[in-house]
Amino acid sequence: MLSGMSDPQQPQQPQVPPYAQPQQPASGPYSAQPAYGAPAGQHAQPQGYQLNTSSVQPGYPSPSGAGSANPPGRLGLIFGLVAIAVGLVSNLVTTVLIYSSGYDLFEVSTLFGTLIILATAGLALGFGIAGLRRPNAPHGQAGIAVGIGIAVLVGTLGSLLINAVGTALYQYL
């Protein structure tokens, strides 16, 4: 065979300039090429962040959503809203009773409404605190429940104290 002739069985490959050839990615932790010293069939595992849902930092909800509910916090919020609603209705009923039937039903209505308000505000505060103590749950509703519970308790107890002092001063002065 002649040395200048090409073999007819092998197709000719066109010459591509070096700047037009696709670049091979550098070998690194995220490359598809095997790591240095690894067998040809194995690839290096990425060394980046691996999400481990089995251990979650305390105080943060789990990424899978498994611990994303906070039933005590939600119950506390519901009791807090009920306490506010009962307080508003009790005020309305008390005002209507004063103008319509006198003071006999006023005292019973006030006592009954105050007891319900104190009970529901106490439940809101208790469930809110229980919801804040849960480490892997959201604390928004529980915090609101604690705030409502404290505010309603302080307001109601303060109102009872002011009424008692006013009654005592009225009777003895």
Q: Tell me which residue of 22, 40, 106, 147 sits closest to 32, measured CA to CA.
A: 40
The string of pLDDT tens digits covering residues 121-136 is 999 999 999 999 999 8
Please, which pLDDT band fits residue 94 given cuts at 50, 70 and 90?
A: confident
Is residue 149 helix, strand or coil? helix
The string of pLDDT tens digits covering residues 3-62 is 555 555 666 666 766 565 555 555 555 555 555 555 555 555 556 665 555 555 555 555
Cβ atoms of residues 138 and 92 within 8 Å: no
Query: Above 60 in pLDDT, residue 93?
Result: yes
Report the chain's mean pLDDT, rounded to a whole number.
Answer: 78
Is residue 3 helix, strand or coil? coil
Locate the domains of the chain by residue range: 71-172
Question: Higher confidence at residue 18 or residue 106?
Answer: 106
First and final C-alpha spacing in the chain: 135
